[in-house]
Amino acid sequence: MPNGKKRGKYGGSYFEEIDWWTKPSNHSFFLELREMMKEILLIKTLYRHNRSLWIFSFPLHLGLYLLIGFGFLLIVGGILILSGLSVIQNSANILSKSVYYLTIAFAVSGSMLGIIGASGLFVRRAFDRELRLFSAWTDYFNLLLLLAISACLLAGWATSDGSLDLLRAYTAALISIGQAPVMPGILQITLGLVSFFFLYFPFTHMSHFIGKYFAFHKVRWDDRASAAGNKIEAGVKEALSKKLNWSGSHVKAGMTWKQATTDFNPKAEDDKR
């Protein structure tokens, strides 16, 4: 569990305290959140331990966050349009003006970083023997998909939708289930890729952000001890009532865990052998 300034610096835990169970818990939601933010925003562990991969992974992830922000801004812009406001460059409304500029900033920077990150990781995976040996075609495909989305969005912005009005209007139409504007080919491709992405990514490794939360919170950091009456103890009681099903002769299949571990008679087992 991320600890405070003192122990956190070297990775110490409450086990360093004499009679630790009598001391107040060192858990801090703030520290946990801070560490998670460092992981999410800065990919901290990869930076520390694999810098050469981080230089592409970081821009890819930052690009994705910016593109998610871009999507959110499109929704806000769409809502503003549906409310009768114009989201234009010289709008008198501060919110509309901010949304206008931020949408472009997020879209352009996000897609540029996505291109750098995805193409860099693709090249690393394709040409680094260590990575190549363990990569399936799906790993390359996922990176190419992200590269294609970023590149098509950037190309669409540059050639057809410099103010992103078309995409904003499309979003407004989605929200109001209205008539969408006619989109140029490049933006149709972008939208198609994005739609495919949303259907596809839950079944792929790209959904690792969910797993990472649990891997860090429930596995790496969870150092809460069991205590009489707490949830952990209740879970253990239930688990010990499960029946053993393993076939090893020493296991005693058919007994519950509690029976097989506490009623186990090693002498009787030895005599049988």
**Residue 75 binds to other proteins (criterion: CB under 8 A):** no
**Residue 176 binds to other proteins (criterion: CB under 8 A):** no
**Residue 269 binds to other proteins (criterion: CB under 8 A):** yes
Of 91-150, which residues contact other proteins (CB under 8 A)? 129-131, 133-139
CA angle 154–71–103, rounded 5-degree value: 65
**Residue 158 binds to other proteins (criterion: CB under 8 A):** no
Binding mask 210-249 for other proteins (x = CB under 8 A): -xx-xxx-xxx--x-xxxx---xx--xx-xx-xxxxxxxx
Sign for the CA dihedral angle at 5, 9, 11, 15 comes to negative
CA distance 155 to 138: 25
Phi, psi (deg, nearest 5) at residue 243: -85, 145
Compare residues 95 and 239 and give the one whose CB is closer to other proteins. Answer: 239
The Cβ-side half-sphere exposure at 204, using a 13 Å CA radius, reads 17
**Residue 200 binds to other proteins (criterion: CB under 8 A):** no
Residue 243: beta bridge partners?
256
CB of 63 to other proteins, least distance (A): 17
CB of 99 to other proteins, least distance (A): 34
Of 19-58, which residues contact other proteins (CB under 8 A)? 19-21, 39, 43, 45-46, 48-50, 53, 57
CA distance 117 to 151: 12
- Written as six digits, the tokens of 206 are 């790209």
**Residue 202 binds to other proteins (criterion: CB under 8 A):** no
CB of 269 to other proteins, least distance (A): 8
CB of 210 to other proteins, least distance (A): 9
Q: Return all residues near 12 (Cβ < 8 A) that are at least 6 apart.
A: 3, 6
CB of 111 to other proteins, least distance (A): 22
Which one among 24, 84, 202, 266 touches other proteins, defined by CB under 8 A? 266
CA distance 199 to 194: 9
